[in-house]
Structure 1
C-alpha cells in the first residue's frame, strides 16, 4: 500500500516552518518532541500542536513514541 500525502501547497507558512523544523531534526537522526519544537519555534504551544495535527493528518509527518518524524517524501537527504 502506497502512503499518500496532501499537496504541500495546502500548508500555511507556519505549517511549512514546523515541517522544516521537524525535517532538520529527522535529517540528523532524531525525532522532534514538543519540548524541542517549543524551544526552536517562537510561537504558543497550541499553535505548534495545531500545525503538527494538520501535518500528521496530511501525512507529511508521523507521530511516533519518540516524537515527530517525516512522513513520505520525494527528496533526497
Structure 2
C-alpha cells in the first residue's frame, strides 16, 4: 500500500479536530462513526462530513464498514 498522503499542513483547524478525534477512537481499537463524531465534536453533521471528505481524499483517514479510522501513516502506534 503506497498511497500518497496529503500534507498535514493543508488541514484546517477544524479538520485537525476531526482527525484527532478519529485518531483517539482508532487508538482505542474502534472506528469513528458520524453519530459519535457529531456528539464528541458538537458541530453540525454537514461540517463534519465536509472535513471527513477532505481527510479521506488526502488519505489521512479511511472509511471502513464500521466508520472512519486512520489512514496509512509512517509513525509507530
TM-score (norm 1): 0.95
Partner of 1:66: 66
CA offset digits 1:8-57 (Å, max 9, x no partner): 00000000000000000000000000010011001111000000000000
Partner of 1:49: 49
Counterpart mapping for 1:15-30 below 5 A: 15-30=15-30
Alignment partners' CA distance in 1, 2:28 and 2:76: 14
Please, what is the CA RMSD of the aligned residues?
Answer: 0.8
The structure 1 segments of at least 4 consecutive aligned residues displaced by more than 3 Å after TM superposition are none
Task: Tell me the secondary structure at the aligned position of residue 36 of structure 1.
Answer: helix
Using the size of structure 2 for normalisation, the TM-score is: 0.95
Unaligned runs of 5+ in 2: none
Gaps of 5+ in 1: none
